[in-house]
Structure 1
Amino acid sequence: MNIIPILNDGILKLTLNGRFDTFGAGPVQQVLDSFFNKHPKFIIMDMSGVDFISSAGIRVFLITAKEVEGRKGVLALVGLNSYCRELITTTHITGILSQFDTMDQAEAFCRKKTPPAT
């Protein structure tokens, strides 16, 4: 799994490329864990380079969604292929994350959920 993390203005964006299986999920979770102490409220995962998700990948989604929910944030997935989108629906986890076609849509959604600075 190739992972490119970028943290900017409370939004952690991960670009993932590879299989989100037992071997890919571990490195993704390690990267997420390394950023949790920076308290990102929103996590956007660009999944356009992922063609397979196993139960290990679903577990990462569950852990991440719980982490950001505690901060009143959002886990957003971008660019899911039809197989991955169907898997997300079949596993009934659509209620804990948001799905978008583009990174711009996901970022706009997160920014709308961010209260203005006072």
Structure 2
Amino acid sequence: MLEVTSYNKGPVLVATLTGRVDSSGSKELESQLLILIDANQADVVLDCSGIAYISSAGLRIFLMAAKKTKSLNGRIRLSGLQEPVQDVFEISGFTKLFEIFPTIEEALAS
């Protein structure tokens, strides 16, 4: 199960993801994240420190969200990737598609 909580830090939407981003969790992530982005939150930081696992279905949602924010002239930054999730991003080439930071504070400062 995946939990998504969010808050605004100035003009930036910070979404904290907790749980597994697998086939069932990705559906929850898609519905919540795309709704938040559609509400004109084009500048997004995803706090991924609570994610221990991500599947290809989860990667697809991250890619959809990145395309959506880009179409709104925004961007997505990721923070706090745990090692197994970081490995999946590296193997899949997603580290070239996303700005990745160790902490939320560093992502917000960028």
Map 1:3-82; keep pairs closer than 5 Å.
Answer: 3-82=4-83
Where in structure 1 are there 5+ consecutive unaligned residues?
Answer: 110-118
Q: Distance in 2 between matches of 1:61 and 1:18?
A: 15
- 4+ runs of 1 displaced by more than 6 Å? none
Contact 2:16 2:46 in 1 (8 A): yes
Tell me the secondary structure at the aligned position of residue 30 of structure 2. Answer: helix
Identity %: 28
Contact 2:79 2:101 in 1 (8 A): yes
Q: Distance in 2 between matches of 1:37 and 1:69?
A: 12
State the shift of 1:6 in Å: 1.4
Moved more, 37-46 or 77-86: 37-46
Q: Distance in 1 between matches of 2:45 and 2:37?
A: 14
Where in structure 2 are there 5+ consecutive unaligned residues?
Answer: none
State the shift of 1:8 in Å: 4.1
Q: What RMSD in Å do the two structures reach over aligned CA positions?
A: 1.3
Q: Does 1:91 align with 2:105?
A: no
Greater Rg over alpha carbons, structure = 1
Amino acid of the structure 2 residue aligned with 1:89? E
TM-score of the aligned structures, taking structure 2 as reference length: 0.91
Report the equivalent of 1:115: none
| 1:23-65 Cα shifts (integer Å, max 9, x gaps) | 1111111111222232112111111111000011100111011
Q: Distance in 2 between matches of 1:82 and 1:44?
A: 19
Moved more, 5-14 or 24-33: 5-14
